[in-house]
Structure 1
C-alpha cells in the first residue's frame, strides 16, 4: 500500500462560519460560508448523524469500513492487539471564520458513564495562522455561578473568565478534557483529537445552533457542567497549555501522548517518516513523499503497511498519529 492523497472532507452547514482559509491552504475553490472544518481520514461522524463526517477513499470505500475489514494492514499488529480497529484519532483542519463559543469536552470516564461512548474528547492544536485563543480559567468559579452564567447566556462574562492568549504559526495549544476554551476569529489550525464529536456549549447566542436543546449533550446542563473544570490555571500551568513547538520532533506536550501524537518533520533535503498509521500534512513548501511530489496543503493517509516513508524536498510535514500502543 502507498500513501493516499485525500481531498477535503467538509461537513456542510456547521453552526459557525469559516472555510475560506482551508480553501486557500488546500488550493481549492470552495467558498461555502459554513464549512469551517476538514475532517481528515475520519472514522467519526458528526454527533447525531449516521454518516456525515466519514472519509470516503478514492476507490469509493468508506475508510471506517476498510479499516474494520483489514485492521492490521491499516493500523499495525501492535495497535490492533491493544485497541482493535479503533483508530484512536481524528484529525481536522479548522478555520475560525468567527470566534467559537466558550465550550468544553468531556473526559473518558464521563463519556463512558453518561453517554456510552468509547472516548471523551481531549484535543490539541497546531497553529497554522495565528490570532487569539481563550483557554483556562483566570480564577476559580463555583459550579452554581457557572451554571447561572449559562442560564443567563452572559457571553461577555463567560469569555472574560478565560485567559486570552495571542498565538502565531508554529505554536501549539493543549486542551485537556474539561478545559474551557474558545478559538478566536481568523485562526487556522490543525487539530488532533479523540475520535468523538462531543461539545458542552456554554454560549450560543451568535451561532446557528439551539444550544439550549443540544449544548448539554442530552444530559441537562446540571449534569453536563459537572464535566467542566472550574479551577483556575496559573501562569505556569497556562505555559504548559500554550507553547511554541520545537523545530523538529514531537510538537505537543507529553501530557497529550496518551491520546495522540504530532511530529514536525522538516524536509530541507532528505528525511524519513517512521512506519505506522498516520495522517501527513504538507504544511509548507513542496515535498516528495515516496517519490511523489506534493505542494503545501496536501493531506496524505498512510496505512501501516506502507512502511517507512522517504521524504525529500524543501518544506515541512506534520505527522499525526494515534497514541503509541
Structure 2
C-alpha cells in the first residue's frame, strides 16, 4: 500500500533556503540552511555514509526495505534490468539565495573518474517562479572557463548563461554537463539520477570552500572536463525550458532514459498506473488509495500495489525511474 513520507531535510547545506518547503508542506519552521527535501531517497550526500537517506514510518531505511524486497517495490522488469537500484532521486528545492553556477558529470565521467554508478542528469518542475540560468550563450574554450573559475569572476560566469523567467508549471531539463544556476525565490520539484555530484564554478557568498570541495576531489583541471562548453541556441533553449503539458508526461523525451514525470489533474477520479512511483500533491485535497493527501503530501507507491485510484480535486505529480 502507499506509504506516506515525512520530510527528509539534510541540515546545514551550503546555501540558504527552506521556508517555501515549510509552507508547501505546512510544517513547523526549519533551519535557515535546510533548502532541500530528499523524497524517497536511497542516496547519500557526497562523502557521507548516511545523510540524505529516507526513513519509512516504521523506522527502516527505504534503501534497506528495497534491498530486502526489490520486486515488491520496483517490479520484475525493473529488477531484471537494474536490480535494487532505484535509479531515481526526487527533491523539493527552495532557493533562499541564488545557487552558484555549477554542472554535473555524465555517467561515463562519473564511472571513470569517481567510481559511481550514475552521473547526474536532472529536470525541474517549477512550483514558485523566478529566474533560472541555463546553457551557454556562446562557446567557451577550456582556458577561458578555467581562468574565470580561478579568478572567481562571478559576473562573467553568470553572464555566460541564458537567463530565463520561469512560472509555476514550467519545466526545465538540465542534461549532464550543462551549466546552470537557480535564482533566489524559486521553489521546484527536482528529478535526478541518484547521485550527489556537483562541480561548482563559483562559491563566493556560500558556506563552502570551493577550492577544496568544488571539484569532487579531482581538481578543477579534471573536473571542468565534465562541463559542456558549447552554446545553446534560442531554439535549443526552448527545448530545455518550456511550460509543462496540461497532463501526461511533462519532461522532454531526452529525459526519458533517466527518469519520468507525469502530471495528473484530478477532478473526481483518476488512476495512477502500476509501477514504483514517488507521488507529490501540489494542490488541492486528494485521497490516494486509502491515504488522505493534502497539498505538500509526499507518498511512495510500491510496484506491488498495481493501479491506484485517486479521488478528489487537485494536482498530482508522479515521479518514476526510467522505463526498463
The two structures have a TM-score, normalised by structure 2, of 0.99
Q: Which residue of 2 aligns with 1:188?
A: 187
Q: Which stretches in structure 1 are left out of the alignment for 5+ residues?
A: none
Distance in 2 of aligned mates of 1:116 and 1:6? 30
Matched, 1:109 2:108: yes
Q: 8 Å contact 2:264–2:316 — kept in the other structure? A: yes
Distance in 1 of aligned mates of 2:292 and 2:207? 40
Matched, 1:172 2:171: yes
SS at match of 1:269: strand
Distance in 1 of aligned mates of 2:291 and 2:212? 48
Bigger shift: residues 9-18 or 61-70: 61-70
Q: Which stretches in structure 2 are left out of the alignment for 5+ residues?
A: none
CA positional deviation for 1:275: 0.6
Matched, 1:257 2:294: no
Q: Which residue of 1 aligns with 2:133?
A: 134
CA positional deviation for 1:141: 0.4
Q: 8 Å contact 2:263–2:317 — kept in the other structure? A: yes
Q: Residues 16-72 of structure 1, C-alpha deviation per residue, up to 9 Å, x if partnerless?
A: 000000000000012310000000000000000000000011001111011111100
Matched, 1:6 2:5: yes
Q: Which residue of 2 aligns with 1:158?
A: 157
Distance in 1 of aligned mates of 2:290 and 2:245? 27
Distance in 2 of aligned mates of 1:65 and 1:270? 34
Distance in 2 of aligned mates of 1:57 and 1:18? 25
CA positional deviation for 1:307: 1.2
Matched, 1:37 2:36: yes
Count of residues paired in the alignment: 324
Which segments of structure 1 move beyond 3 Å, counting only runs of 4 or more?
none
The two structures have a TM-score, normalised by structure 1, of 0.99
Q: 8 Å contact 2:2–2:291 — kept in the other structure? A: no
CA positional deviation for 1:292: 2.7
Q: Which residue of 1 aligns with 2:288?
A: 289
Matched, 1:100 2:91: no
SS at match of 2:111: helix
Distance in 1 of aligned mates of 2:291 and 2:54? 22
Q: Which residue of 2 aligns with 1:19?
A: 18
Distance in 2 of aligned mates of 1:313 and 1:125? 25
Q: Kindly report which structure 2 residues correspond to 1:40-51, keeping only aligned pairs within 5 A, or say none.
A: 40-51=39-50
Matched, 1:202 2:167: no
Coordinate RMSD, CA, aligned: 0.5
SS at match of 1:268: strand
Distance in 2 of aligned mates of 1:291 and 1:215? 45
